[in-house]
Copies of this chain bind each other. A is one copy, B any other.
Amino acid sequence: MYFASDNSSGVCPEIMEALQRAAGGYATAYGEDGETGGLQERFGALFGREVRIFPVITGTAANSLALSALTEPWGQILCHQGSHVYNDECGAPEFFSGGARVVPLPGAGGKIDPEALRRAAAHTGHGVHTSPARAMTITQATESGTVYTADEIARLTAIAHDHSLGTHLDGARFANAVASLGCAPAEITWKAGIDVMSFGATKNGALGAEAVVFFDPERAADFERRRMRGGHLVSKMRYLSVQLHAYLDDDLWLRNARNANRMAARLHQGLTGIDGVTLLGPAEANEVFAVLPVRMADRLREAGAQFYGDPFDDPAAAEPLEAIRLVASFCTTADDVDRFVEAGVAAAG
């Protein structure tokens, strides 16, 4: 019953086998190998257009390096107030950009409110005295377990582009979003106005592999320098590329994501109606958010469940509450979910 994070899952067998097959032999280092070279075409086919793709090892690196290509050091990066770049990267976007400001915007369900974006993008302040907005970043699937529709993304990127902002998509859980929408990857990226994205694989079965994908090749001009200077040019890069190829082979990425999404939906359904449990929003991707009594959360943990929670302040509540997050992954089983739900029912009784 491990629902703490999809980062806590291991390596899925198909990717481990691909690494095993590629383990021996020689290949030119630093991405001058055939596996890495092949990624350009591979991702080009995936997205239905020419792209420039650069493997890196962490999502924070992918996001920060990509954003640094969209803003000068004195610019602003507009994001959702609940986003990873704002809350969980310890200043990496500021570091890689040379000091740009990350500005949090409100919005329901983890999605940037278009009107808030418009105001922030249009804010010119006092001319040269004020940091200008230069980039917008959205997260897909969001940090709230929701998924932007293609139209929602297009609406935001249109506002961004109207004000000359570059647009970035943090796709740490991109597979979950695509699996949820059943759309082509292009529909929610470049066709919806995204200039560059972070394409995640680690949370969804890879050992450690992310990619920065530029749909606007001009934005990529300095990227190799940025990546090298950040210590993110991996010497044996073929092993990142092997993971990414295996991740796309036979739609592994979508199969893994579909399992995670199904398990989250099963959790959501199972928790519905349990006395004392309030579900926060739908389970459109692989995460479920809920509020329940601390007493219940403790009982669930005693029963062996792992998940993160924060105290939830509600003056009207009869007992202390906790807001919890449950994350399913490629390897979550129906049995895991059912045992958790049973333990929840028991705890509520």
Convert A79-103 into 0s and 1s, putting 1 for each residue whose CB lies closer than 8 angstroms to a CB of B.
0000000011111101111111110
Instruction: Please give, as numbers and ranges, the residues of chain B lying within 8 Å of A2 by CB-CB distance.
Output: 26
Contact partner of A29 (CB less than 8 A), chosen from B8, B19, B74, B101, is B8
Indicate if A222 sits at the interface (CB-CB under 8 A): yes
Contact partner of A74 (CB less than 8 A), chosen from B91, B100, B126, is B91
Please tell me if the beta carbons of A92 and B30 are within 8 angstroms of each other in the complex: no
Please tell me if the beta carbons of B228 and A92 are within 8 angstroms of each other in the complex: yes
Contact partner of A30 (CB less than 8 A), chosen from B7, B97, B232, is B7
Indicate if A215 sits at the interface (CB-CB under 8 A): no
Once A11-B239, A128-B228, A235-B58 are accepted as A-B contacts, the answer to whether A99 and B88 lie under 8 Å apart by CB is no
Indicate if A281 sits at the interface (CB-CB under 8 A): no
Indicate if A231 sits at the interface (CB-CB under 8 A): yes
> CA separation between A65 and B335, bound complex, in Å?
43
Central interface residue in A74, A97, A202, by most chain B CB within 10 Å: A74
Indicate if A131 sits at the interface (CB-CB under 8 A): yes
Please tell me if the beta carbons of A228 and B89 are within 8 angstroms of each other in the complex: yes
Once A98-B99, A128-B224, A208-B234 are accepted as A-B contacts, the answer to whether A20 and B16 lie under 8 Å apart by CB is yes
Number of copies: 4
Instruction: Please give, as numbers and ranges, the residues of chain B lying within 8 Å of A226 by CB-CB distance.
Output: 74
Instruction: Please give, as numbers and ranges, the residues of chain B lying within 8 Å of A95 by CB-CB distance.
Output: 73-74, 98-99, 229-230
Once A94-B94, A232-B58 are accepted as A-B contacts, the answer to whether A128 and B225 lie under 8 Å apart by CB is yes
Please tell me if the beta carbons of A233 and B60 are within 8 angstroms of each other in the complex: yes
Please tell me if the beta carbons of B207 and A19 are within 8 angstroms of each other in the complex: yes
In addition to A90-B131, A95-B98, A101-B102, 6 A-B residue pairs with Cβ atoms within 8 Å of each other are A5-B29, A8-B28, A8-B29, A61-B230, A87-B125, A88-B126
Query: Could you jot down 23 A-B contacts, CB within 8 Å?
Result: A2-B26, A4-B26, A8-B26, A10-B236, A30-B128, A57-B234, A58-B231, A62-B231, A65-B231, A74-B225, A87-B129, A88-B129, A89-B229, A89-B231, A92-B228, A94-B101, A95-B98, A99-B99, A101-B101, A128-B224, A129-B233, A203-B235, A208-B235
